[in-house]
């Protein structure tokens, strides 16, 4: 595991964008596992800037997103599909037919999970998986629990996750209570993993994830077992030390 300290959020975003763009340049048809939320917004903005300068070409890239709220249509402004189009897909030359997210409106959750796992397998797996980290150590929507879920699954969101996400909705009642997420097993099959963490409020959980015991109580701790993980965190997020 490589831990890279960034000076601030802007530096973090640039360093993360460097790794993503390098992957695209090395393998123009790479499969990128993408994430949403506030952490990667700056990274996507940097990639868009470099695309506009002609420095990076996304025309052959395939993508699979980590997660999607259950019950939200793609057109809903709070869906992760909408987020990806707003911040990235609609601003670069990616083929929308090569972008993939779980279907939040799928009628049969179990069938949707099987479909998504089969899709990822059909693409040959993920070359580079981008992750953020929740305040409780979740990656994707793999919440703390008694075991590590292997494949894509539909999860009940914990109160702390709903609390963290309510700022994006008109009220807490509007926050979906379930989401589809890649499982820990799927994430761990990625050839490379890039984790970005920002802010002092993440310092304690980042310390547990990087240096504590590997336990499903801290889902991100499983990343200690992956052979190729890069963590980019700002000084604030690394302030708890080892």
Tens digit of each residue's pLDDT (9 = 90 or more) over 111-125: 999 999 999 999 999
Catalytic residue selected from 11, 136, 204, 226: 136
Catalytic residue selected from 138, 142, 149, 234: 138
Is pTM beyond 0.85? Reply is: yes
Tokens of 17: 């964008």
Is residue 143 flagged as an active site residue? yes
DSSP string, 18-31: HHHHHHHHH-TT-E
Is residue 136 flagged as an active site residue? yes
**How many Cα atoms are found within 13 Å in the side-chain-facing hemisphere of 23?**
24
Q: How many residues does the chain have?
A: 242
User: Of 146 and 45, which is predicted with more confidence?
Assistant: 45
Residue 98 banded pLDDT, cuts 50, 70, 90: very high
Domain coordinates in residue numbering, the chain: 2-181+193-222
Catalytic residue selected from 112, 143, 149, 234: 143
Q: Is-contact 15 6, C-beta < 8 A?
A: yes
Tokens of 54: 């002609």
Q: What per-residue confidence (pLDDT) applies to 90?
A: 98
- Tokens 């939320």 belong to 37
Q: What per-residue confidence (pLDDT) applies to 242?
A: 72
* CA–CA gap between residue 60 and residue 58 (Å, rounded): 6
Q: What per-residue confidence (pLDDT) applies to 161?
A: 80
Catalytic residue selected from 67, 112, 127, 234: 67
Residue 241 banded pLDDT, cuts 50, 70, 90: confident
Is residue 234 flagged as an active site residue? no
Smallest CA-to-CA distance from 43 within 5, 81, 89, 87 is with 87
* CA–CA gap between residue 41 and residue 91 (Å, rounded): 13
Is residue 67 flagged as an active site residue? yes
- Tokens 């090395």 belong to 26
Q: What percent of the chain has pLDDT over 90?
A: 86
Q: What per-residue confidence (pLDDT) applies to 164?
A: 80
Could you name the CATH architecture of 2-181+193-222? Answer: 3-Layer(aba) Sandwich (3.40)
Q: What per-residue confidence (pLDDT) applies to 87?
A: 98
């Amino acid at each position: 595991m490589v831990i890279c300290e960034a000076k601030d959020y802007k530096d973090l975003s640039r360093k993360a964008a460097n790794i993503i763009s390098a992957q695209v340049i090395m393998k123009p048809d790479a499969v990128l596992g993408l994430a949403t939320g506030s952490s990667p917004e700056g990274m996507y903005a940097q990639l868009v800037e470099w695309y506009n300068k002609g420095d990076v070409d996304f025309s052959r890239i395939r993508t699979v997103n980590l997660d999607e709220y259950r019950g939200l249509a793609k057109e809903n402004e709070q869906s992760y599909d909408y987020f990806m189009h707003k911040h990235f897909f609609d601003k670069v030359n990616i083929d929308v037919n090569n972008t993939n997210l779980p279907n939040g409106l799928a009628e049969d959750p179990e069938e949707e999970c099987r479909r998504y796992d089969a899709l990822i397998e059909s693409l040959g797996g993920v070359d580079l998986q981008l992750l953020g980290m929740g305040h409780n150590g979740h990656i994707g929507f793999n919440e703390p629990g008694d075991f590590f879920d292997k494949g894509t699954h539909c999860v009940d969101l914990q109160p702390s996750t709903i609390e963290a996400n309510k700022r994006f909705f008109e009220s807490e009642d509007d926050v979906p209570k379930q989401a589809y997420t890649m499982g820990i097993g799927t994430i761990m099959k990625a050839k490379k993993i890039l984790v970005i963490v920002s802010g002092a409020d993440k310092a304690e959980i980042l310390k547990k994830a990087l240096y504590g015991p590997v336990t499903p109580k801290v889902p991100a701790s499983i990343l200690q077992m992956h052979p190729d993980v890069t963590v980019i965190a700002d000084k604030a997020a690394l302030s708890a030390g080892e």
